[in-house]
Structure 1
Amino acid sequence: MAWVLLIIAGLFEIAMALTLKASEGFSRLMPTIGFFVFGGISFYLLSRALVAIPVGTAYAVWTGIGAAGTAIFGMIVFKEPATVMRLFFISLLIGSIIGLKAVSN
């Protein structure tokens, strides 16, 4: 159950980052509210996952999901460049997340 909470926390971190971009420096109300709501949920779920998962592993997975997911969504939603090297390094990040899960107790 802790891993499910951690994955969901990572998904909310993606939403937090995307609404941060959409808030345009906290100048738009609804994306700003979304940022704080998604961030609060993400941190809460991360804290619940930390009860059963070591902090180093949980934090690395949480930030990895957020970083990879935000980069992918940035390419899709914000039309950021999807170069071969960016995709290669995102795939390394995803592989590292899977590896951390595989070697965790």
Structure 2
Amino acid sequence: MAWLVLIISGVLEAVWATALGRSEGFTKAGPTLVFGAALIASMAGLAWAMRRPPVGTAYAVWVGIGASLTVAYAMAFGGEQASLLKVALVLGIVGCVIGLKIIE
């Protein structure tokens, strides 16, 4: 169960990071509210999930999921330029997250 919560928290990290970028310095109410709600839920989930895997592993998985999804979303919908190298590097992050789960 801790790993499921950790994965969901990582997804929420991507949500709040994307919303933060769209909030334009907290001047847009909608993205700012999404940012705040996703941030709180993501941090609460991370804190709860850290009871099972070691802190370093949990944090690396959380950051890896959030970073990978944020970059993937930005390449697909946010105008960030995609390249084969960038996709390969993001897949490397995903591979490392999966590896951490396997050895845990």
Structure 1 residue 69 and structure 2 residue 69: aligned? yes
SS at the partner of 2:24?
coil
SS at the partner of 1:85?
helix
CA-based RMSD of the aligned residues comes to 0.6
In 2, the alpha carbon distance for the partners of 1:79 and 1:66 equals: 18
Offset of 1:18 from its aligned partner?
0.9
> Partner of 1:33 in structure 2?
33
In 1, the alpha carbon distance for the partners of 2:6 and 2:68 equals: 15
> Partner of 2:81 in structure 1?
81
> Partner of 1:4 in structure 2?
4
> Partner of 2:95 in structure 1?
95
In 2, the alpha carbon distance for the partners of 1:20 and 1:37 equals: 11
Matched residue pairs, number?
104
In 1, the alpha carbon distance for the partners of 2:52 and 2:9 equals: 14
Q: Counterpart of 1:25 in structure 2: which amino acid?
A: G
In 1, the alpha carbon distance for the partners of 2:34 and 2:78 equals: 18
| Percent identity of equivalent pairs | 40
Offset of 1:56 from its aligned partner?
0.3
In 2, the alpha carbon distance for the partners of 1:79 and 1:28 equals: 19
Structure 1 stretches lacking a partner, 5+ long: none
Offset of 1:53 from its aligned partner?
1.2
Task: Give TM-score, length-normalised by structure 2.
Answer: 0.98
Superposition misfits of 4+ residues, deviation over 2 angstroms: none
Cα deviation, 1:30-62, whole Å, max 9, x if unaligned, reads 111110110000000000101111100000000
Cα deviation, 1:57-100, whole Å, max 9, x if unaligned, reads 00000000000000000011112111111011001000000000
> Partner of 2:20 in structure 1?
20
In 2, the alpha carbon distance for the partners of 1:48 and 1:81 equals: 35
